Amino acid sequence: APSNAVTSLTRLPNIWMKILYGCGQIPYTIKTILFGVFTLYFYTTVLGLPGSLVGIASGIGLVWDAVIDPVIGAFSDTTQSRFGKRHGFMLAGAAGMGVSFWAYFSPPAGLSLPSLFTWLLITSLLVRTTTSLFAIPYYALGAELSSDYHERTSITGVRSIFALLGTLATATLSFVLFFPETAPGVDPKLNV
């Protein structure tokens, strides 16, 4: 039987249910684009960490994802609460994703290379874990919103539209928001 949270969502008019569900894709997309576009540049060019160390940290993070994702999925599938089996995980993941993502791109000034690598590795694992806490139950919830194949396809389509909007907004606005030109002739992308 669907949880109370899923039941209340499915009572909404069809398009509103899809839009509310699709909105969850935006923060996930923003995190994914910024994480992918700026990690290597920021840690190598701006902070001076060797690319090989950034690659090692990224590789360890991918292995961590492969381990933690099925665990989160299993817990999400079997958890019972008054908010439904997915929403508690999604809330914890969303809150943690913001804090860990901020920490990821805000290492303390003056760290040595080993300390900077450690900071990158630990915050990367935190970002990946909290992202998985949100994303895995979020995608599972989409499949639970309807038992009809065509409706599920439509729900996924709306989510994909929000992913595209999040991608376009992130790709264009990130340079305007994060790298405003403050002084003529000074590259703002090199300012920590």
What's the average model confidence in pLDDT over 96-110?
Answer: 94
8 — pLDDT class (breaks 50, 70, 90): low
Whether the CA torsion 76, 79, 85, 90 is positive or negative: it is negative
Q: What's the rounded Cα separation, in Å, for the pair 77 and 93?
A: 16
Residue 39 is which amino acid?
T
Binning pLDDT at 50, 70 and 90, where does residue 67 land? very high
Mean per-residue pLDDT for 103-108? 95
**What per-residue confidence (pLDDT) applies to 7?**
54
Q: Give the residue carrying structure tokens 């805000």.
A: 106
Q: Work out the percent of the chain whose per-residue pLDDT is above 90.
A: 59
Any idea what the Cα angle at residue 26 is, between residues 20 and 30, rounded to 5°? 170
Task: Share the mean pLDDT of the chain.
Answer: 88
Q: What is the pLDDT of residues 84-97, one digit of tens each?
A: 889 899 999 999 99
Q: What percent of the chain has pLDDT over 70?
A: 91
pLDDT band at 11 (very low <50, low <70, confident <90, very high): low
pLDDT over 70 at 181, yes or no: yes
DSSP 8-state secondary structure symbol assigned to residue 112: -
Question: Would you state the pLDDT for residue 189?
Answer: 67
Question: Tens of pLDDT along 136-163?
Answer: 999 999 988 888 888 889 999 999 999 9
